[in-house]
Structure 1
């Protein structure tokens, strides 16, 4: 029996397109005999498709396409990844020809992070959302290099307040520890997780809270936080949940 939380995350990964091909095929077969899983998938599709109507189109950040193209050029040097290069070039071309909805931008973010090969594993992704609301942020972490990237999905600039990223694990003590304050472009130091062990990052709880401008004055979250856990996006994905 699949737990409800596992069903929800499995459905989210299926809709975002982060499951390996074999796992995606298994989920496609499983949903035909598992009404609850099928319902969860339909709910995620509905949440993300609604972003097309609710969010105003925005121009890509300066230099984004250049970074994507540089990453693709690096992949072209490795013949074993030729098919991935072709697929990603097609995605970049489509994005340049049309206004991307936020849900597509979220999926493209995951693909871009996977462009940079690591020695051992694919990036890990956490989705930050409140209950059944649409996701506010995506956090991508390259555990091999201890690099992180935050992408807003439905989150908007907070005016005179700041978003702050936190990490919590029993090994770090009873209270959350600040990873960093997001700037006006929703960016945080990519190397902020350098001093954390990869195994700790895999199991840790991450949170994003809304704080006074410049960050929490107490060193702890001053209000409710959105929480997320890291899940693998490639061959390291946990297939036992099926």
Structure 2
């Protein structure tokens, strides 16, 4: 490692705050007369200061400081039977080197954490396709009997009668069919007297499945199909995206 590398490391430690009070005061004094050191400190501040804007402050657990103090005390305690007169200097040098390695490791870890936060914070969100869809239920060229609107974000639906009207002794029942659901359609529910259906009827279905599914409304005996499958005349519809005017129908 060159002298310039050492100076750059010192600048990084100064900006990251891993120097002790005496070292920090020394570096602060040096930067006033050493232009290279001052430029390096400024460069590190520019690299890291903007990243800290995205980092929420976190208070360390109270026991963390206690563990650090205990570890330092253990390092400062001479081993039993050791020659303290001859070993004092080497122990101090070793401890200083170990502390410097810990400080630099902390600096690198802090920088890496801030870079990771920045990458995650500024990563562009993936493009999202249309989330609002509509289906029209009509027989041949007749006026639509029903319209279905679906919000895939929260899987909420709304069925609205257009020309359909309640029928005496009959009920409308809504169905969904998709390859992944098997060969038979599944009931989404029987429309009530106002020809409405629970908005959360699609809550158990994956949005991708809904985009490709076929929806149907059949005429059943009052209260719904007695067999669990459509028994009367049915009209079908598919979901078409409406959020993007350039989007093409799912079918």
Give the structure-1-normalised TM-score: 0.48
